[in-house]
Structure 1
Amino acid sequence: MKTTVAIIGSGPSGLLLGQLLTKAGIDNVILEAKTRDYVLSRIRAGVLEQGMVDLLRKAGAGARMDKEGLVHEGVNISWNGQLHRIDLKKMSGGSSVMVYGQTELTRDLMDARLDSSAQTFYEAQNVQPHQVDSDQPYVTFTHNGEDYRLDCDYVAGCDGFHGVSRKTIPEDKITEFERVYPFGWLGVLSDTPPAAEELIYAHHPRGFALCSQRSLTRSRYYIQCSLDDKVEDWSDERFWEELKKRLPEDVANTMVTGPSIEKSIAPLRSFVVEPMQYGRLFLVGDAAHIVPPTGAKGLNLAASDVQALYCLLKEAIQQNNPAALERYSEVALRRIWKAEQFSWWMTNLLHDLSASPFEAKMQDAQLAHLLESVAGQTLIAEQYVGLPYELKED
């Protein structure tokens, strides 16, 4: 088998890259270790920057998002028992965010790929890139008991933090940067209306809380918890009771609760690998970086990686300029480190850090300054809606 771009992983980044390349007439094949249903079962992010919204439309996968997605022009920070709204549109110069679940956009991208007849191998086992530091890379895999070799010009590693792509790069050719946080998020998904029209990020002495949403009838809630906690220790009743204690009284009193349809505990980490390429292998999304979810940047950073790689692949292939791809890491990492800083900063600002009384007072002082200052609100708004993409498609 032969293709131009071999894409490892069919999460949102792999599917989005594949769809953009297909629309541009660039042949690609996606290899995915799991089943289609498994990929769709993963409950993840739901806040999309304008840049990602535009990419989904360009990929021909934005129709349902435009119909069902919720445009949010503001976000709330709860502090000292009060909601403080940040006007994203006003403070960022006209931008907003779209609330649309990752499961739904993944489904849309899968459907678009099926319509395009581009090739995808689900349940591809033993996927392994080879000779990526040469001009003749290839990928081997097993599918339905048969062994395959996929010759290609380029390999895009979109297979996540635990995938094979990053592990293919020799250890002495990359540097890893990591910060592991001493707490986690207990998340609950429920078929209940959202607690508020816009998201609420809560700073409270009992710990952080987030009231998010997927639609007008489905909500996603999180509370900061110990890494030693177990999901089975948290009944629905206990979760709702604790969540309400961390929210303003008027929000807690009107919140609609109900049975959870998914419950999980996620550890938080910041992680970046440099560079994000080795020869003709390019790391995309979680394969190269992880952010704590506080800043809503994980999925959006994957989209910005896709946009950068797509633009450079087009130049390399259609304008016969392979040297263009040497810029990928440099371009992607400039945006990544800014988003990493924002996510790290928001995490330290809003969580209970078990700090000294003095340091807790410093958190409060910083929140007071940010929420009472136009400059502070602008700082949050500009980062939250997403920084502009560096590369523009010709």
Structure 2
Amino acid sequence: MRTKVAIIGAGPAGLLLGQLLHSYGIDNFILERQTPDYVLGRIRAGLLEEGTVALLDEVGAGVRAHREGLVHDGIELAFGGSRHRIDMKAATGKTVMIYGQTEVTLDLMNARKAAGLTTVYQAADVKPHDFDTDHPRVTYVKDSITYELDCDFIAGCDGFHGVSRASVKPSAIETFERVYPFGWLGILSETPPVSHELIYSNHARGFALCTMRSMHRSRYYVQCPLDDHIDQWPDDRFWDELKRRLDQKAVDSLVTGPSIEKSIAPLRSFVAEPMRFGRMFLAGDAAHIVPPTGAKGLNLAASDVHYLSSALREYYDEKSSAGIDGYSARALARVWKAVRFSWWMTSMLHRFPDTEGFGAKIQLAELNYLVGSKAATASLSENYVGLPY
């Protein structure tokens, strides 16, 4: 078998890349080791930048997002017992959209199916080969039969634990990582959100976040120790702890109910450099991870895909390698800015082991400066709604 671009991973990064390449007339083939239901069952981010929505529109997969997504003009920061609204639209002219990553993935799956494009699910033992030559290939096993896929390029969109980055020689790659000493305990509930915009709360007991997936489904998080287990957090304990970390107005408005999903996620910042290895490129979580505080994970994957699809289009349409040669540097420049922003938001809002006395006072001073300064508000807003591609 042969294709122009072999894409490893059928998450939103791989699916979006496949649709963009298809719209440019570039053949592509997607391999995914899990089932479609497993991919759709992963609970992930739910906030889209305008640039991400524009890419969905470009491939004809944005109709449902515009119909069902919730457009937000701002966020609220809670500290010292009160809330302060950040009007991002006033500061930047831009908004964000609340629309779950699961829904994005489903829309892209349906778009790919409608276009008659190939995605092989439950592809076992996927391995990229010879990507440091002019003749890369990918092997995989399906129904006990081994297949070989010849291609011009390989796109590794297979996540943090995927095979693509792991196939690179350690001497050819450098990684940068910060692991945070806490996690996020999150629940999903069939309850109306406590506020029409997100609430980020800095509290002496730890960080809390109130967000939503729709007007009848809410997503809440509380900071917790890394060694906690969800069995230690029955619903009643979670709701009680969340209330302790919110202002009184939010507590009075909070509607509680049974959780329909509950999980604990560790937080880390991670970047792999470069993002190109001969004829294999990394995109999305395969190349970088950010803590969810800045809402950048899915959106960074989308910007990677934008850069990569544009570079491949230039290669095939204009016979120029300038785009693919510059892909890694161009993508990483935006990645590191998002990593910085996510680190800053995490550092400002969470309780660290040394956040006592001096550390707590610095956080409070930072928050007070932020809500009282137009320049600081504009800076947060510019990064939150998404830096330009």
Question: Which of the five TM-score ranges fits, normalised by the shorter chain?
Answer: over 0.9
Asked if 1 retains the 8 angstrom alpha-carbon contact of 2:310 and 2:323, the reply is no
Distance in structure 2 (CA, Å) of the matches to 1:211 and 1:181: 21
The match for 2:239 is: 240
Residue by residue over 1:127-162, the C-alpha shift from the partner in whole angstroms, topping out at 9 and shown as x without a partner, is 000000011000000111211000000000000000
SS at match of 1:221: strand
1:133 is the counterpart of 2:145: no
Residue by residue over 1:219-238, the C-alpha shift from the partner in whole angstroms, topping out at 9 and shown as x without a partner, is 11100000111100000000
Asked if 1 retains the 8 angstrom alpha-carbon contact of 2:311 and 2:322, the reply is no
Distance in structure 1 (CA, Å) of the matches to 2:320 and 2:133: 16
Residue by residue over 1:245-296, the C-alpha shift from the partner in whole angstroms, topping out at 9 and shown as x without a partner, is 1011111111111000000000000000100110000000000000000000
> Match of 1:78, as an amino acid?
A
Structure 1 gap segments, 5+ residues each: 390-394
Distance in structure 1 (CA, Å) of the matches to 2:16 and 2:195: 31
1:323 is displaced (CA, Å) by 3.9
1:356 is displaced (CA, Å) by 3.2
Residue by residue over 1:300-329, the C-alpha shift from the partner in whole angstroms, topping out at 9 and shown as x without a partner, is 000000000010010011111134301011
SS at match of 1:128: strand
> Match of 2:23, as an amino acid?
K
Over 2 Å off, 4+ runs = none
Question: TM-score, normalization: structure 2?
Answer: 0.99
The match for 1:229 is: 228
The match for 2:65 is: 65
The match for 2:358 is: 358
Distance in structure 2 (CA, Å) of the matches to 1:213 and 1:359: 30
SS at match of 1:228: coil
1:372 is the counterpart of 2:372: yes
1:188 is displaced (CA, Å) by 0.3
Q: Spell out the pairing of 1:126-165 with structure 2 (5 A cutoff).
A: 126-165=125-164
Asked if 1 retains the 8 angstrom alpha-carbon contact of 2:303 and 2:331, the reply is yes
How many residues align? The count is 388
Distance in structure 2 (CA, Å) of the matches to 1:179 and 1:381: 24
SS at match of 1:127: strand
Moved more, 129-138 or 352-361: 352-361
The match for 1:22 is: 22
The match for 1:341 is: 340
1:53 is the counterpart of 2:15: no
> Match of 2:334, as an amino acid?
R
Distance in structure 2 (CA, Å) of the matches to 1:39 and 1:308: 24
> Match of 2:39, as an amino acid?
V
The match for 1:392 is: none
The match for 1:303 is: 302
SS at match of 1:207: coil
> Match of 1:334, as an amino acid?
A
1:291 is the counterpart of 2:290: yes
Distance in structure 2 (CA, Å) of the matches to 1:67 and 1:83: 30
> Match of 1:387, as an amino acid?
L
SS at match of 2:132: coil
The match for 2:166 is: 167
Q: CA RMSD in A?
A: 0.6
SS at match of 1:339: helix
Distance in structure 2 (CA, Å) of the matches to 1:307 and 1:324: 11
Question: TM-score, normalization: structure 1?
Answer: 0.98
Q: Spell out the pairing of 1:247-286 with structure 2 (5 A cutoff).
A: 247-286=246-285
Distance in structure 2 (CA, Å) of the matches to 1:323 and 1:361: 49
SS at match of 1:126: strand
Distance in structure 1 (CA, Å) of the matches to 2:372 and 2:305: 37
Percent of matched pairs sharing the same residue: 59
Residue by residue over 1:143-193, the C-alpha shift from the partner in whole angstroms, topping out at 9 and shown as x without a partner, is 112110000000000000000000111100010000000000000011111
> Match of 1:47, as an amino acid?
L
1:358 is displaced (CA, Å) by 1.1
Distance in structure 2 (CA, Å) of the matches to 1:111 and 1:144: 24
The match for 2:116 is: 117
Q: Spell out the pairing of 1:80-95 with structure 2 (5 A cutoff).
A: 80-92=80-92, 94-95=93-94
Residue by residue over 1:112-132, the C-alpha shift from the partner in whole angstroms, topping out at 9 and shown as x without a partner, is 000001110000001000000
> Match of 1:231, as an amino acid?
I
SS at match of 2:71: strand
Residue by residue over 1:77-106, the C-alpha shift from the partner in whole angstroms, topping out at 9 and shown as x without a partner, is 1111111100010111x1000100001110
SS at match of 2:260: strand
The match for 1:206 is: 205
